[in-house]
Amino acid sequence: MGQITKIATTLTDAYIVEPAVYGDHRGFFMESYSEADFQKAGLDYHFVQDNHSLSTQPGVLRGLHFQRGQAAQTKLVRAVTGALLDVIVDLRKGSPTYGKWESFILSASNQRQLLVPKGFAHGFLTLTPDVHFLYKCDNYYDADADGGIAFDDPTLAVNWQLNGTKAILSEKDRHHPSFKEFESHNPFVYGEI
């Protein structure tokens, strides 16, 4: 029954994925993930872990996160309730889009998903209350490989669309290094992950 539409982003190897949605007066049905459909679309990943977060308020900012080395992860992310601004940054040295970012609105109403490749930093800002966020990962979480970059790094200059409001951050996310600090020991190389 399922099928997906794969839409290229401006960043190399990152895609918006739109599953087929079948709706009527009762609501809708969709296959949120089908390995066969993804393979037909040229997205050949084997996901091994599903994660689920809840952010109860608008303005919660989580990120920018990644995992290093053998623990690097490709993620397929989506909002199940509410809406958020999702941001990815290409960290792969030698990539045509190295150091560039792009943002996307993911919401329960648009049902879009974002495929975030290994070697990308990822984060999001909630735009509504009670955002349930799901992500599939092709590698297990490893606390020793956990890394991040400051969400407000001036070199990256991500437009989080905060419009003067203050982001609600975890203690960990308040202390990530700058992009320049990260660059001095960047483990990601385009074509090698």
The active-site residue out of 65, 98, 122, 176 is 65
Active-site residue, 46 included: no
C-alpha distances out from residue 49 to 73, 74, 185, 186, Å: 10, 11, 28, 25
Tokens of 162: 């905060």
The active-site residue out of 15, 33, 98, 135 is 135
Active-site residue, 65 included: yes
CA angle 150, 153, 154 (to 5 degrees): 170
* Amino acid at the residue 141: Y
User: Do residues 77 and 106 touch, judged by C-beta distance below 8 A?
Assistant: yes
3-state secondary structure at position 102: strand
Phi, psi of 172 (to 5 degrees): -60, -45
Instruction: Name the burial class of residue 44, with classes exposed (0-12), middle (13-18) and buried (19+) by CB atoms within 10 angstroms of its CB.
Output: exposed
Gap between the Cα atoms of 190 and 119, Å rounded: 8
Tokens of 30: 């969709």
Residues acting as catalytic residues = 65, 135
